[in-house]
Each structure stands twice: as C-alpha cells, then as structure tokens.
Amino acid sequence: MKTKVAIIIERANIVLGGAERSAFELSTSLAAAGFEVDVLAAKGQTSSKNIHLLCQDVSGGRVSFAVFEKALKKHLKENHYDIVHSFLPLDFADIYQPRGGSYAEAVTRNAASYQNGLVESYKRVTSFANLRRTRLFKAEKKLCRQADGPMIVALSEYVKEQFQKHYDVADERIIVIANGVNTKKQVDHSESDKLCSQIMIQLGLKEADEPMFLLFAAHNFRLKGLSCLIEAMHLAQQSSASNNVYLIVAGNAKTKKYRHLAKKLGVEKRIIFLGAVRHIQNALSISGVAVLPTFYDPSSRYILEALAVEKPVITTKFNGATDLFEDNRHGIVIETPEDIEALAEAINYFSNADNIQRASEAIAEDNLKDKISVTRVVREFKALYELVLERRGQE
C-alpha cells in the first residue's frame, strides 16, 4: 500500500516563485518514487487532479492564514494522510519545511537590503505592522517552542542556524535536507540562439568581440543585490581584464531605478534588461557565469539550476545554496553584497575564459548535478517519512 502524503502550500501557481515550483517538483518526484501525493493549497491555477484548492471560493486575493488553517483541518479530518508535509507553520503537520527560511531572519535581511541605516531601522520596527506576517511569525515561534511539534526541515545549514538563533530549536527537532532542482530540463537551442542574437544586436556586439555574459535572475532586484552588482560592474570596468564582460538581467521587476544607476555609473551600454524569462535554462546556455549577490536567500534555485548545467556561480554567504558547491572551485562566495570590491574581483576573475572553463570542469568532475538533483531530495525525504512513521508507531 502506498504511503499517502499531503504537501501544503499557500498558492498553487508556479509563476509566483521558487517555493511553488519546488512544491510541484517535489510532489511529482515523490509520486514517481511510489508515493501517493496530494498538494493542498488555498488558491491557485491548476487542472491537476492531485491538487486540491481549499479556499478557491473565498473572495479577494490571498486567503488569511486562519481561514486556510480551518479549511485544512476540515480536509484532513475527512481525508487520511500518512504524512502531512507543510511549507507553512502549522503545528498539526508532521513536517514543517520553511522554504523562505525563518520569518525572523527574513525580516532582518530584507531590512538590510535597503542599504540605508535609517530605512533599515524603520523597516525592522514596522515589519510586523503587516498582520499576515505577524500571524505567520507567531505561528512559527509557537511551533518551534512545542516539544512535540513538527520536525523542522531546513533547506540549508544557513536556515538551520536561523532557527537555532531566533527560536533556540533543539538539534533533534531540526534536520537539513538541502535544496534540489530538476536537473533534466532541456535547453531549446532555437530559442537560445534567438535570445543570443537579440542580446548581441541590442548591445551592438559581434561574435569577434567574444563577450562574456554574466546572468543575474531574480524577482526582487533589491533583495538579490542588483544595485551592488551594477556598482561592481562599474568598478570592474576600470580593469582592462573586464572589457569583454556584459550583464544580462532577467526578471519581471521594475527597472527604472537600476537603469538610472547604470547610466550614472557609465555602464548602461554593458547591461541589458530582458524582463521575465520563461525558461532560465535558455538564458544560462548563452551565459558564462550566474551571479546573485543576494542579501538573503535560504537556498537559491537559480544558483542550483546554473550549477546543474555546469555554469560557475558568484553569490554571497547569505545564500544557503553555498552548502552545495565549493568556494574558489565551482564559483566564488563573497561575505556580503555590499563588498563591491570583492564582487568586482570575482567578475574580473571570470572575465578570463580559462577560469570559467576550469570551474565548469570542476563542477562536472565533482558530479554536482547528482548532489543538487531533486532525486537526492526525494531519497532523503523518503528516509525522513519512514522515521516519522516509525516514531508514531512507537507512541
């Protein structure tokens, strides 16, 4: 008899971001491994039979945490599941997997991303004026303080440290199952060729120029450090080594502020804003290096997707994805996004094609693809589910 698993997520819509994509990838991979999986969401856009939208008839946009919690309890009372695996802080779940890290750390690092002392202080003080965030933070705090609460699954050592720092969670309550991605996604070469031609034309480049493209991809440009990256591009440009470096910015966010900064620093001709990119693999295929100088990321899917196609990466210690690759071998990790000099040095280093090739070969040689695969994630969750069921049987 198959083990029946409920995966709880707020919204069932992969357009929204990494957590949603991860939920669907995990559910699909668990099903392929022999589990019976239902995804329980408040709202969403789907026709899949195994995705249940419990609050679709509730008016308005987002459903309140309390309303969704009530709907979940009703559904779980009427339907049996062996394992309840939640992405939200619900104390009746067996497993809590905080895809966004801890709410406490997220607030702190989001405030830091404004790079202004007064604004940072204001953001910290007013962050919990958002009633929804306050409700989720309190639920998470309560869950962590319950001795018999859900097992907490951290995406990275960084996330584990957050829960120990902010909530004093005991070691036996929290384990790390590192983030993973679908490593079998294919590049559409006709689309990538078209994209490359478009970029070359817009930047006024020829193949003989031998440009090296950095790729930055994010939904939240401020939090992921785009301003710092543009400043680093300006500093790197002062070195003759980086004359061939150009920056591709992918993501559906407002660009006016960043275009203005690029123009002010004289690097506007070295940066192209693509807008939303449906398949990041196509953009990665024409890029030399993936860069994400983030202020906060529990474990970036984008960085893992880059490593999956053997692209070197540049990111910060505030990215949990650093667990899965080796600094100065597969990429470069800088201490903080505000260290513009270190970021510029990383850009200069990878302006050399030999250094890119060396890192790419190391990624392949060390078989990072298997390490970051969702298949490995499923294997580890299978073991955890068995442990949860074993402990339940002993009660």
Residues 99 and 213 in one domain: no
* CA separation for the pair 31, 285 (Å, rounded): 30
Residues 157 and 227 in one domain: no
List 175's β-bridge partners, or say none: 153
Q: Please, what is the angle between helix 117-126 and helix 103-112, to 10°?
A: 150
Residues 8 and 82 in one domain: yes
Residues 126 and 54 in one domain: yes
Q: What total of structural domains would you count in the chain?
A: 2
Predicted pLDDT of residue 17? 60
Residues 211 and 302 in one domain: yes
DSSP 193-241: HHHHHHHHHHHT--GGG--EEEEEE-S-TTTTTHHHHHHHHHHHHTSGG
Predicted pLDDT of residue 213? 98
Q: What is the DSSP letter of 295?
A: S
Note the Cα 353 to chain centre separation in Å: 27
Predicted pLDDT of residue 15? 57
Residues 197 and 174 in one domain: no
Residues 272 and 151 in one domain: no
Mean pLDDT of the chain: 93
Q: What is the CATH number of the domain that holds 244?
A: 3.40.50.2000
pTM value surpassing 0.85: yes
> H-helix or E-strand containing 393?
helix 374-394
Predicted pLDDT of residue 150? 96
**Domain range holding 67?**
4-180+373-394
Collect the ranges in the chain with pLDDT lower than 70. Answer: 14-18, 240-241, 394-395
Residues 18 and 63 in one domain: yes
DSSP 74-93: HHHHHS--SEEEESS--TTS
Residues 307 and 386 in one domain: no
Predicted pLDDT of residue 23? 85
Residues 348 and 367 in one domain: yes
CB 101 within 8 A of CB 161: no
At which residue do the structure tokens 């980086």 appear?
242
CB 65 within 8 A of CB 137: no
* CA separation for the pair 277, 379 (Å, rounded): 31
Residues 193 and 324 in one domain: yes
Residues 167 and 288 in one domain: no
